[in-house]
Amino acid sequence: MITKRTVCAAMMLAATFAFGAAHAQSTEIKFGIGMPEGDSPEYQALSRFKEYVEFKSNGEMTVRLFPGNQLGSEREMIEMVQQGSLEMTFPADGAMAGFYAPMQVWSIPYIFESAPIAWNVMQSDFAKRMKDDILATTGIRALAFSQNGFRSFTNNVRPLVTPQDMAGLKIRTMESPVYMTMVNALGATAVPIAGSEVVMALRQGVVDGQENPPAVVFNGGHGEVQEYFTLNEHTFGLHVIIANNDWFTSLSPSQQQIIKDGAEMMASTENLLKTEGDWKYSRRLVEEMGMTIHVSTPEEKAAFKEIAQPPVMAFIRESVGDQVVDDLIAAVDAAKADLYGN
């Protein structure tokens, strides 16, 4: 006799079988990032990408996460994406510039006066043209740009209220002509040191300070060996969500749309969390690590900009040409008009 319970059980078994079959035939997306698993904006954004893609695809696509440089450095993961052994990764602009030189344009000091201006530009025609050019130049598909954070100075000598306060300081930078030119122009001495060695260099006095967003200063342990943090937001850090193009174009149109939408959601998540982190982690740096924090005023930033921007902009113009620089400046002006009116 067929009972109601029997019918329900059969329906449940059929649903379970269908779910299992879908997963058996699912497309696995390997996604590597440098940040370790945890409460970082990067990992939270990546987790949302995973959840969105798996939910929207009904399990046809699964996302396998490889955090904490399990697959290698950012540069190595970009190479893996380019060659097709990794589907997706999430490099910073500095690493991406090694494959696509015009990426340096985002690092012009004080080009963005606020996060909303940067968000607007990341959605502009300028950004779309750059993503198209990345694909044409490198074969890598750039799906979205996101905010890696505004970089600011820490040091153990004094608060940095004016550019003159930088005089004589030894500041750790990435091994990048852009950052080194900026620091040297401000009267300090740029000392390129690998990221893994920064805390030890600060503790031993090899350098007086460094520059990073508040979340990195807190999570990286810099706040434990630094006294002063000046939120002058000199450089905007960019992340690029990239994919292997052959893999991406092999997907169905609906799957491609899900990946694109997931990348945009991932970017929006990081944008919000990175901006929120400016005050969230600054507060924790004061309360838990005893740092003294100074938030630069627009007038103070303008004084730094006047000195730091011209030599870096000249270097970037020489490196990548005038057009990309002029196009970014035009996109910033358009964003300001869009957000604040004429």
325 and 314 in contact (C-beta within 8 Å)? no
Distance CA 236, CA 191 (A): 20
Using CA atoms of 14, 18, 23, 27 in order, give the dihedral in degrees to the nearest 10: 180
* pTM, entire model: 0.87
Neighbours of 202 (CB within 10 A): 23
Cα-flanking dihedrals φ and ψ of residue 162, to 5°?
-125, 160
Q: Which residue in the block uniquely carries the two structure tokens 């004589």?
A: 168
The DSSP code sequence of 54-97 is HHHTTTSEEEEEE-TTTT--HHHHHHHHHHTS-SEE--BHHHHT
pLDDT per residue rounded down to tens, the chain (342 residues): 444 433 343 343 344 334 344 444 579 999 999 888 988 889 999 999 999 999 999 999 999 999 999 999 999 999 999 999 999 999 999 899 999 999 999 999 999 999 999 999 999 999 999 999 999 999 999 999 999 999 999 999 999 999 999 999 999 998 889 999 999 999 999 999 988 899 999 999 999 999 999 988 998 899 999 999 999 999 999 999 999 999 999 999 999 999 999 999 999 999 999 999 999 999 999 999 999 999 999 999 999 999 999 999 999 999 999 999 999 999 999 999 999 986
CB atoms within 10 A of CB 287: 9
Place of tokens 């798996």: 54
CA 294, 297, 303, 304: dihedral to nearest 10 degrees?
Answer: 50
Distance in angstroms (rounded) separating the CA atoms of residues 212 and 235: 9
Q: Where does the chain show beta strands of DSSP type E?
A: 27-32, 61-66, 88-89, 140-155, 170-173, 189-192, 209-212, 228-244, 292-295
